Structure 1
C-alpha cells in the first residue's frame, strides 16, 4: 500500500509539473484541473446485509440463516469508512483535426475487492473529442444505462442499487448534440461482469442505442435499448440478452422529480437481481427483471437540502424449468426501498443524514422456472451519517 501511494504521489507531482510547463505554451493549450472529495460515512444496520467493501456498498438485507431456530443474520452492524474518497484529473489539450480534445482520469480508495479495501481503484479513464455537432468518448466510463443526467442523489454509495443500474465499462461512445440526442455505444465489461458468462469470449461487444430529449436544467427524458452476447463456457453457444430503459426528470417548483424504469434479461453486470439458467434440454435461458425508481429532491434554503428516494424491483423468473442458475441474488422474488435524506451545506462541506429502509422477499425456483415465496420477508434499516468535503 505504501509503495502504491508513493508511486501515485510521484506521478501526480510529475504530471502537475508537466501540465504547468506546457500550459505556458499557447500552442500546446495543455492543462490539468484537479478535483475530488474526501468522504467519511458512519453506518448502522439493524440487520446483516448483502454488501461490498465491509458493508459500505449496501445492496439488500441478507436472507434468513436459521440455526437452531434462530436467524443469525438478524443482528446489527456498525462501521465507519472513508474509502469512497476520490481524486479526478480533468485534462485539456490541443485540437485533433479541428475537434476539441479532453480527457479524464478518476480513482477512488474503494479497492477492487474486500481484500483490497483502501487501495486505489480506477473509476474512469477516457479521452473525448468534440465539435458543435458530436462528441466521441473512448475509454472507461459509465454504462449507458447509468444515465448521468438522471440518477439518484442518495448519500449512500449504492446510488439506488439494485433498483438503479450501476456499472462502468470500457467503451466507444458517440453522442450527437442538440435538444434531441442520439447516443450509440459499443462496449465490453471490466469491474462489473455478467455472472457465469463472458462478453469478451463471445466475440461480440455489447451495443446500446438511446434517444434523449430536452435539457437537464429543464425537462429531460429518454428511451434506450441494450443487447448483450455472452458465452458461459468455451464451446457453448452465445446467450443473447436484451434490456430496455425509460427515464425523465423535471422541475416541480423548487424541487426536482426523477423517475426511471428498467426491464431486461440477465442484467447481473448492472448489479440487478436475476441472471440466467440452464434448461432441462441444456439450453441457456435468461432471467427477466423489472426495476422502477423515483426521487424527489430540492433545497429548503441555501444551506439545507433534502431528498426522498423510492425503488422497487421484481424477479420475473425464467419461463421454463431450470436445472442450474448463474445469478446475483437470483432467488429474490421482489424488494423495495424508501430512503429520505437531509443535509446541511456551507462552502465545500456537506453534512448529511439518510435513513434507508429496505425490504426483500426471498423465494425459490419452482418447476416452471418462476420465483415463489418460500420464507418470510426480511427488513433492514440503515442509518447513514456522512461528511463530504469537495475540492
Structure 2
C-alpha cells in the first residue's frame, strides 16, 4: 500500500509538468559565422569592424598626412548565433509562440558576453496577430538586401531591433502593421551622446504604420514613422540651472518592393529619413533657437534621401549586386551653430556604396567573397540650410570573405 501511495504521489507531482509541456514544441537554430575582412582606410564600423558603414573623413597630422588613410583588417567569429523558437498551447483561438535569440556581437567593449537579439511572444488569430517583445524594427521590414556584409545594407537599409508592441492584420494579400517602439540597444543621439533617456523622458514611444501587398512574386509596401525625443530636461545657462521643456519630433517615410522570380530576385527601398541614426542610417538633428532667458532650445531634424537596389541570381552559385546612395537634404529651419548638431554622418553630403559578391551555397553551408567600394563626400554644414558645402571625397575599398555553417 505504501508503494502504491508513493507511485500516486509521483504521478501527481509530475503530471502538471507533463501537461504543461505536452503541447509545446521547441526548435533550436543558429549558425557559426567567420568574417575575414580588409579595408584600405579607417571606417565607421562598429562591432570591432564587422558592421561596416562608411569611410571616415580625412584626419591630417602635423605634416598634412591623413591619419585615417591606414589599412586595417581582421578575422572574427563572435557574430555566431543561437536561437530557439517555441510554440505553445492555444489561448482561446490564438496560436501562441515565442522566440529567444542571442549572439556575442554586443554593444559593449566585450565580444565574449551574450546579448539579446530577439525576445518576444506572439499571439496569432490567423487574420490578426499581436507581438510583444524585442524584434526587428518595422523599417527593416520584409524587404532587405541579400549581401554578405553583417550590416545588411546599412547605412542605406534601416538596421535595428527594438522592444515593441506590434499589431498586424492580414486580408486578401494585404498586411497592415502598427507598432509602438521603445529603445534599448540602438539609441538616438543627443547632448549626452547616445542614450535611451531622450525617448524615456519623452514618454512617447516611436510609432510606425505601414502596409504590404503580396501577389504573384511581388511584394510592395510603404510606411510612416514618427519619433519624438526630449533632448534635455534641464539647462545650464549663465551659471544657473533651469528646468526646460524641450522636444524634437520628426516624421520619416519609406517605400519598398521585391520581385522573386524562379532563379532571381530584385529588391529596392527608398526613404525620406529624419532622425533615424538609431537605425544605422545617416541622420540626426540640430539646435534651431535658444531662449535667452533660460537657455531652452528648439530643434530641427536633418532630412536624408536614401535609396538602395539589390539583384541576386541563382541558388547554388549566387552572384549579387547591391548599390546604395544617400543625400543630405538639410534642415527645415536654420541652425544656431553648425557644431550644435547631434547624430551620425551629418557632415556627409553624399554617400555611395556598391557591393559585388559571389557565394557558394549548400545545405547548411555558405561560402562567399564580396568587394565593396564606398565614397563619402565630406564638408561643413551651412547654418542656413543644414546642407553640406565645400565637399571633398574619401574612398574605402573593402574585401570580405565569409564562411557560415547553419543548423
CA shift at 1:24, angstroms? 6.4
> Which of 344, 350, 354 does residue 338 from structure 1 map onto?
354
- Name the CA distance, whole Å, in 2 between partners of 1:64 and 1:315: 19
The equivalent residue for 2:107 is 112
Q: Which runs of 4+ in 1 moved over 3 A?
A: 21-28
Choose which of 17, 40, 44 in structure 2 pairs with 1:46. 40
Tell which deviates more after alignment, 240-249 or 375-384.
375-384
- Tell me if 1:225 matches 2:239: no
2:149 maps to what in 1?
156
RMSD: 1.8
1:333/1:144 Cα in 2 relative to 1: closer, same or farther (>3 Å)?
A: same
Aligned to 1:205: 205
Distance 1:338 1:24 in 2: 54
2:399 to 376, 379, 383: 383
Partner of 1:305: 318
Report the counterpart of residue 193 of structure 1 in structure 2. Answer: 187
Pair 1:374 & 2:390 matched: yes
Q: Which has the larger radius of gyration?
A: 2
Corresponding pairs, count: 366
Give 2:175's match in structure 1, choosing from 168, 171, 181.
Answer: 181
CA distance in 1, matches of 2:17, 2:375: 53
Cα offset, 1:296, TM superposition: 0.3
TM-score computed with the length of structure 1 as normaliser: 0.90
Q: Distance in 1 between matches of 2:112 and 2:357?
A: 26
Which residue is equivalent to 1:259?
268
Q: State the alpha-carbon separation in 2 of the partners of residues 109 and 27 from structure 1.
A: 30
Q: TM-score, normalised by structure 2?
A: 0.86
For residues 382 and 53 of structure 1, the distance between their equivalents in structure 2, rounded to whole angstroms, comes to: 16
Aligned to 1:291: 306
- Structure 1: runs of 5+ lacking an equivalent: 1-20
Deviations 1:52-108 (A, max 9, x none): 121111110011001111111111111000111000010111111221000000001
- Residues 126 and 141, structure 1, Cα contact 8 Å, conserved in 2: yes
Aligned equivalent of 2:246 = 237
Deviation at 1:264? 2.2
**2:241 alignment counterpart:** none
Unaligned runs of 5+ in 2: 1-14, 191-196, 234-243, 291-296
